[in-house]
Amino acid sequence: MTDQKEIWNDVWASSAYAQPLLRQSKAVYKLNALEQILDAPFEGFALDIGCGGGYVSAEISRRGARKVVGIDFSQSAIDLAIKHHSSETTSFRVADGCSGFLQHDEIGTFDRVFVLGVLEHNEHPEEILHQSMNALRSGGKLIVSTSNTHSVYHAQYLLFNALGIWPYGHLKHYSDAQLSKLLSDCGFIPDSSVILACNASPVHLSLLDRLTSILPRVGRYCLMVATKL
């Protein structure tokens, strides 16, 4: 994971990636979609694994969560999150979502665990899901988003990765069927999902993604909700 930490410390330290308006718009876009497939998505205590600069955590708190804890293994990301989004109900700390980061009094207490745009960067995503299972109370909800294999962005990733110029450390993208199987294999019960088109600025790939997203299961992101029994 050392290489991934170096990649993401550099990424979050760059002004191009960490643009507040871009990060905020992505957070709002995904959470608006979540409200369409999950009742009361922001109730109770929430854990945001791979919180980055804290934009999703802050938006979860704004929408009604009583307490939000954001973790990320990038010090650069957590520095941004603390600077811009810490509050009485939202806290951040450096931690690796693949290892035993939970404090003793946090185990089995979270109503919602968010893992948005994280699994595709990890060699062993099942470790993150195991930690998510430990964090959730019985009946709690896991909310996951990943890059979708059925999208023009996946084609771009395959090309750039083959050329050795992909900058964001992706290791694997998932179709909704593959993501559902992964969650099931880790003990979760998948409930619902939605495919989302890209919402970035209208560059050619974003426009093409939105056009092709009219096809079944095609689009930039797969967003899925699952339950811990």
pTM higher than 0.75: yes
195 phi and psi, to 5 degrees?
A: -95, 130
The Cα–Cα gap between 229 and 182 comes to 16
- Strand, coil or helix: 202: coil
140 to 49, 53, 113: CA distances (angstroms)? 15, 25, 8
Beta bridge partners of 67: 45
CA–CA gap between residue 46 and residue 171 (Å, rounded) = 26
In sequence order, which residues have a C-beta less than 8 Å from that of residue 99 and are 6 or more positions away?
127, 131
| Three-state SS at 111 | strand
- What CATH architecture does domain 2-227 belong to? 3-Layer(aba) Sandwich (3.40)
- For residue 32 the two structure tokens come to 């608006």
Tokens 């979502």, residue located = 97
Measure the CA–CA gap between 17 and 89, rounded to whole angstroms: 26
Domain positions in the chain: 2-227
* 45-49 vs 110-116, strand pairing mode: parallel
Half-sphere exposure of 168 (CA within 13 A, CB side): 18
Around Cβ 88, how many Cβ atoms within 10 Å? Answer: 7
**What's the Rg (C-alpha) of the chain?**
16
**Per-position pLDDT tens, the chain of length 229:** 446 777 777 777 776 666 777 888 889 999 999 999 999 999 899 999 999 999 999 999 999 999 999 999 999 999 999 999 999 999 999 999 998 899 999 999 999 999 999 999 998 999 999 999 999 999 999 999 999 999 998 998 999 888 988 877 788 999 999 999 999 999 999 999 999 998 876 577 788 888 898 898 999 999 999 999 9
